[in-house]
Amino acid sequence: MISSQIDKAEFWTMEISPKSGWLDLNLREIWRYRDLLRFFMHRDFVANYKQAVLGPFWFILNPLLNTIVYTIIFGLIIRVPTDGLPPILFFMSGIIIWNYFSACVLNTSNTFLAHAHIFGKIYFPRLIIPISTVIINLLTFAIQFGVYICFIIYFAFQGVPIHPNIFILLLPLLLIQIAAFGLGTGLIVSSLTTKYRDLAYAMGFGIQLWMYATPIFFPLSLIPEKWQWIFAVNPMTSIVETFRYILLGNGYFQPWILSLGAVTTLITLIIGLVLFNHIEKTVIDTV
């Protein structure tokens, strides 16, 4: 009788064992916790605009207002060339791409600091939180992309020469690259901020500087050819230029720049995953 009770007590449906190495990622565990992933996605989506009067309309208003401001400043006042494209189409293409990337980086870069109270109480794969952030930001991008398509159709009917091409099939790969690069960068910053809190305060300023170093408000063709390789190191350069090229038929599309950006993205993601996996084991002792 006692032996039977002990056997029942020792029957486990799940065994949680400590991670042993830097590369012990155990990505299959994330799939087991997919319900929790959906919960975090719903929580983030509702919490973003829960107490806002206009609610989800800010998903649309945000890029529209930014586009208007940048069109006035860079298009009408400074008169930055837009490679023959209407300024609204040119600036908005860069803004919605950058919004998705910057949201991924900023929202994942505080994972450890913002969720330390949860991590100390219950176990689940910590990587679920940044992944849910990247997915929910993709939904925001989809809404803004739909608005951008409406603008493209409007200008096409106005006679503006817009030439989408077969490379539009690369769009899903571009989105995966943005998500991977944003996630990798965010994981690196999140891991480092557990020890160096200054990074948390510097991220907003750093992202803003990064945006001005990316061809959001100017075409890459404006840069002398001998200096373009410097911009090519930034993966967001190839993403923004390719995005314009495949949708509008006007942009700097070079396979070598795209390949260089993809390699940089892969390296960033691997470094981010490894660092995050290592730090999460000791984060409660340091945060």
For every residue of 118-154, which 3-state class applies, written as one string?
HHCCCCCCCCHHHHHHHHHHHHHHHHHHHHHHHHHHH
Enclosing H/E stretch for 256:
helix 255-279
Name the more confident of 230 and 184: 184
pLDDT at residue 127 greater than cutoff 80 = yes
C-alpha radius of gyration, the chain, whole number: 22
pLDDT at residue 20 greater than cutoff 70 = no
User: What is the reported pLDDT for 17?
Assistant: 65
User: What is the reported pLDDT for 187?
Assistant: 93
Q: Are 245 and 163 in contact (CB under 8 A)?
A: no
- Mean pLDDT (whole number) for 168-196: 92
pLDDT tens sequence across 199-223: 878 888 899 999 999 999 888 888 8
Say how far apart CA 186 and CA 271 lie, in whole Å. Answer: 11
Say how far apart CA 38 and CA 232 lie, in whole Å. Answer: 36
User: What is the reported pLDDT for 121?
Assistant: 80
- Lowest-pLDDT range of 48-52, 134-138, 193-197: 48-52
User: What is the reported pLDDT for 284?
Assistant: 66
**Running DSSP on this structure, what letter comes out for residue 77?**
I
User: What is the reported pLDDT for 244?
Assistant: 92
Say how far apart CA 209 and CA 191 lie, in whole Å. Answer: 21
- The alpha carbon torsion through 122, 127, 133, 137 (nearest 10 deg) reads -160
pLDDT at residue 9 greater than cutoff 70 = no
- Lowest-pLDDT range of 5-14, 58-67, 202-211: 5-14
DSSP secondary structure of 149-204: HHHHHHHHHTT------GGGGGHHHHHHHHHHHHHHHHHHHHHHHTT-THHHHHHH
Percent of the chain with pLDDT over 90: 34
Give this prediction's pTM: 0.86
pLDDT at residue 151 greater than cutoff 90 = yes
Identity at 203, one-letter amino acid code: M
Say how far apart CA 125 and CA 26 lie, in whole Å. Answer: 9
Q: Are 237 and 231 in contact (CB under 8 A)?
A: yes
Q: Mean pLDDT across the chain, nearest whole number?
A: 84
- Mean pLDDT (whole number) for 91-96: 93
Q: Work out the angle between the directed axes of helices 171-193 and 235-248 (0-180°, nearest 10).
A: 160
Which tokens belong to 212? 């001005």
- Mean pLDDT (whole number) for 163-191: 92
